[in-house]
Amino acid sequence: MREIGHWIDGKEVAGTSGRFADVYNPATGEVQARVALATPAELDAAVESAAKAQIGWAATNPQRRARVMMKFGELINANMDMLAELVSVEHGKTLPDARGDVQRGLEVIEVCMGAPAMLKGEYTGDAGPGIDLYAMRQPLGVVAGIAPFNFPAMIPLWKMGPALAAGNAMILKPSERVPSASIALAKLAQEAGLPDGVLQVVNGDKETVDGILDHPVIQAVGFVGSTPIAQYIYARAAANGKRAQCFGGAKNHMIIMPDADLDKAADALIGAGFGAAGERCMAISVAVPVGEKTADALIERLVPRIEKLKVGPYTAGDDVDYGPVITKAAQDRINRLIASGVDQGADLVVDGRDLKIQGYEDGFFCGPSLFDRVTPDMEIYREEIFGPVLSTVRADSYEDALQLIIDNDYGNGTSIFTADGDTARDFANRVNVGMVGINFPIPVPLSYYSFGGWKKSAFGDLNQYGPDAFRFYTKTKTVTARWFSGIKDGASLNFKALD
């Protein structure tokens, strides 16, 4: 059986711990590979190599680092199909969705090609008599990225791109469920000219994560995953004096106003609710139609669309809308939550449980499910299901719908479908959510902005990618310089203004 090791000091190396995690093919339910779980000594070796390599990489001027990013981007684009195949075979995504995974990561690398502009400092000449004042951005040193299973290429690229372009070295720990894309990306980065040791890929489990959080050389940690783990990583990183940006779970709502184009809203809900089997932190999992008439008309449109969805392995090509979920445990949890919704009184309009696909009976497939008349006290509303399940919560008014979102613990993304500009502006201004869509279902900002949620969806002050990422991966040094050009100024013990 294929064994996946680590990428340390510019080469692929086998693991030495004797501990492995199974890597499944979610479509068949079969173990297709084993990934090595790192020892503390292997993590130490990666960090030591990164610390040595970072010195020269930081001394490389930003323009030259940007050229490496440019070549890296070219290689990612040229190897798009190979990377997408790796994503699909380990995650289960359809190939078009896997290409989108790679593409959204590539877009962040494209922004990193402009790193010199992002890293500019500030300068004030003659801030005082003979005094110049300037600030410069410098890399932190060795940083770490801990990536989730649901975007095997995109999130590693979101983490590594800005960190590397800013002059840091990175320890990347991908999800042990989907390790291959990160190894492939490291090889492409090396081919693009990234010096050996600047990017390390260390596979592991909680032991490796704790090792990263406790390691004295690692200065910052970026994480994407569930809220409980995000809280844990943020707290432990902070206790060890590290910077941390940790992005957690979500319960994203879409309000559908009575004046909305219901066909467009229904199409948007299908894509946002069921794409990638619902395994997206930006998936819309709650539809909130305003008014009974709107709700009835929306359900009437959703049901036939959902019933036409095709679920299957990625190898079925364009005939498949989405694939399996990541593990048997995830499949079981989704089915349990659906059962809880029925038990607690929600109306299960479309039941996706017990889906079996000929030839793939052991795959981790979940058919699409639609609930109506869900209430906020139900478990299916309170929990992040992370599966192909759409819940409908009927609201009597716009204010009730808005308050539902405001009161929710999560604040990653939200959306409103309406033809009224005043309502849309009011919603955008008042809703306490980090990313807002107006007649747009999944409001993931383009890569020259920044991605980040509010409330229990994010921990830390700065967002992912865009300008915030360069702020996160650099520290500001401010220099006050005086040049004595005939200035006579005796010694003073007083704290005084420069002017």
User: Hey, which residues are catalytic here?
Assistant: 281
Instruction: Give dist(CA 139, CA 136) in Å, integer.
Output: 10
- Nearest by Cα to 16 from 43, 36, 32, 34: 36
| Structural contact between residues 466 and 448, judged by C-beta atoms closer than 8 angstroms | yes
Helices (H), 345-496: 379-382, 398-407, 421-430, 466-472
| Structural contact between residues 174 and 477, judged by C-beta atoms closer than 8 angstroms | no
Count of C-beta atoms within a 10 Å radius of residue 203? 26
| Structural contact between residues 242 and 221, judged by C-beta atoms closer than 8 angstroms | yes
- Nearest by Cα to 346 from 401, 386, 310, 383: 383
Count of C-beta atoms within a 10 Å radius of residue 439? 15
Give the bridge partners for 144, in sequence order: 171, 221
Structure tokens at 225: 């995953």
- Name the residue with tokens 């005094």: 131
Q: What is the DSSP letter of 185?
A: H
Instruction: Give dist(CA 495, CA 298) in Å, integer.
Output: 68
